Amino acid sequence: MQVPAPFEYERATSVDQAIGLLERLGSSARLVAGGHSLLPMMKLRLANFEYLIDINPLHAELGYIKIQTDEVRIGALTRHRELLESDDLAGAFPIFRDAERVIADPVVRNRGTLGGSLCQADPSEDLSAVCTTLDASCVIRGPRGERVVSMEEFHVGPYETAVGDDEILIEVRLPRRPGHGSAYEKVERRAGDWAVVSSGAAVWLADGKIVDARVGLAAVGPNTTGIPEISDTLRGNTPSEELFEQAGAIAARSCDPNTDQRGSADYKRHLADELTRRTLRKAVERARS
C-alpha cells in the first residue's frame, strides 16, 4: 500500500466557507473533489499538501446541468457519470457523451468531476479538450467575487490554471448556437489509459454551410489545444471530405506532440490528422440530422 505524507483534512460546508479556508491556508491547501488524480499523486508523494479541503459535501450546490436557450451551465462538482447519463446534455452537445464513454472506468466516473478534470489541467485530459472544442468559459469565485475566463485563459500551462490559491472553479458555461453537431474520438492503448491522442470537433451549420467550427486536441501539446486556423479554413464552406482533409492536415502540423511510451511524435501527428477528419465528419453528420 502506498501511503501519503501527513496532511490535515477538512470537509467544506459551503463555497464561501471553502474560499475562507483557502484564503487562510494559501498554497499549502488543496481542494479535493473526486480525488482520482490528486490522491494517487499524494500516495506517490508527487503531491504533498498540508491541508485537504473536501468539497464533496457541496455537490448539492455545485453539481448541476442547466440547459438554457443560449447556453449550458454545468456545476464544477458535476460527476462524469452525471455528464454521461444526461440525455439533455447529449442532445445539446453530443460530444460530451462520446467523451465520457471513453473516460477511465465506471469507478472513476462515479467520483470524478468536471471541475476536477479541468483544474488538474493534464494535457491529455478529455473534458478539457471537450470544453476547448465547445469554446467554454469558466466561472471562478474568490474572496473578491466572481470572474469569467475563456478556456485559453484558464489553462496557463501543463497542470497549471488561472484559478488562484484562494479561488474555486464553480461553473463551466457552454454557448449554444443553432445547427450544432459535435463528436469526440480517442485513441488509447487500453481502456482507462490516458489518450495517445484525442480529438473533439464541433460545427455549426446554416443553409448547408459551416457557420463556425472548432477542433480541440488532447495529448499533443502543453495543454488541450484549439486550432484557430482550422476554424478559419472551415468557416463559410460546404462540408466535404476535401475540407476535412485540409483540416486534418492543419491539425497534424499545428500540434506539438512528444515521443513517449504512448507512441511516437509522428504517429501522434498522424492521429491528430485522422481523428480530426473523423470527428468533423461525424459532427457534420450529426448537425445535419
Partner 1 sequence: MTTVHEPKLSQFDDNDQKPVGFGRMLRKEDPRFLRGRGRYTDDVQLPGMLHLAILRSPFAHARIVSVDTSAAEASPGVRLVVTGAMLAEKGLAWMPTLSNDVQAVLATDKVRFQGQEVAFVVADDRYAARDALELIDVEYDVLEPVVDVRRALAPDAPLIRDDLTDKADNHCFDWETGDEAATEAVFAAADVVVVEDIVYPRVHPAPMETCGAVADFDAIDGKLRLWSTTQAPHAHRTLYAIVAGLPEHKIQVIAPDIGGGFGNKVPIYPGYVCAIVGSILTGKPVKWMEDRSENLISTGFARDYIMRGEIAATRDGKILAIRTNVLADHGAFNGTAAPVKYPAGFFGVFTGSYDIEAAYCKMTAVYTNKAPGGVAYACSFRITEAVYLVERIVDCLAHELDMDPAELRLKNFIQPEQFPYETKTGWVYDSGNYEPTMRLAMDMAGYADLRKEQAEKRARGELMGIGIAFFTEAVGAGPRKDMDILGLGMADGCELRVHPTGKAVVRLSVQTQGQGHETTFAQIIAEEIGIPPADIEVVHGDTDQTPFGLGTYGSRSTPVSGAAAALVARKVRDKAQLIASAMLEVSVADLDWVKGAFQVKGDPGKSVTIQDIAMRAHGAGDLPDGMEGGLEAQICYNPSNLTYPHGAYICVVDIDPGTAQVKVRRFIAVDDCGTRINPMIIEGQVHGGLTDGVGMALMEMIAFDEDGNCLGASLMDYLIPTALEVPDWETGFTVTPSPHHPIGAKGVGESATVGSPPAIVNAVVDALKPFGVRHADMPLTPSRVWDAMRGQATPPI
- Least separation in angstroms between residue 106's CB and partner 1 is 11
Q: Which is nearer to partner 1, 61 or 193 (CB)?
A: 193
- Least separation in angstroms between residue 248's CB and partner 1 is 10
**Residue 220 burial by Cβ neighbours in a 10 Å radius (0-12, 13-18, 19+):** buried
Q: Is 4 left (phi over 0), alpha (psi -120 to 50) or beta?
A: beta
- Least separation in angstroms between residue 83's CB and partner 1 is 20
Cell numbers standing for residue 242: 476535401
Q: Which is nearer to partner 1, 43 or 209 (CB)?
A: 43
The DSSP bridge pattern shows strands 51-54 and 8-11 to be: parallel
Q: Which is nearer to partner 1, 65 or 108 (CB)?
A: 108
Question: Nearest-CA neighbor of 194 among 248, 245, 257?
Answer: 257
Q: Which is nearer to partner 1, 5 or 206 (CB)?
A: 5
- Least separation in angstroms between residue 242's CB and partner 1 is 17
Question: Nearest-CA neighbor of 202 among 257, 90, 101, 280?
Answer: 280
The residue ranges that bind partner 1 (CB under 8 A) are 1-3, 5-6, 40, 44-45, 105, 187, 189-194, 196, 261-264, 267-268, 270-271, 274-275, 278
Q: Which is nearer to partner 1, 174 or 215 (CB)?
A: 215
Q: Which is nearer to partner 1, 144 or 189 (CB)?
A: 189
- Least separation in angstroms between residue 252's CB and partner 1 is 13
Q: Which is nearer to partner 1, 1 or 60 (CB)?
A: 1
Type of residue found at 181: G
Question: Nearest-CA neighbor of 185 among 163, 153, 217, 210?
Answer: 217
Distance, in Å, from the CA atom of 154 to the CA atom of 99, rounded to the nearest integer, reads 20
- Least separation in angstroms between residue 264's CB and partner 1 is 5
DSSP notation for 146-184: EEEEEHHHHEEETTEES--TT-EEEEEEEE--SSEEEEE
Type of residue found at 77: L
Q: Which is nearer to partner 1, 50 or 71 (CB)?
A: 50
The DSSP output letter for 195 is P
- Least separation in angstroms between residue 267's CB and partner 1 is 4
- Least separation in angstroms between residue 215's CB and partner 1 is 17
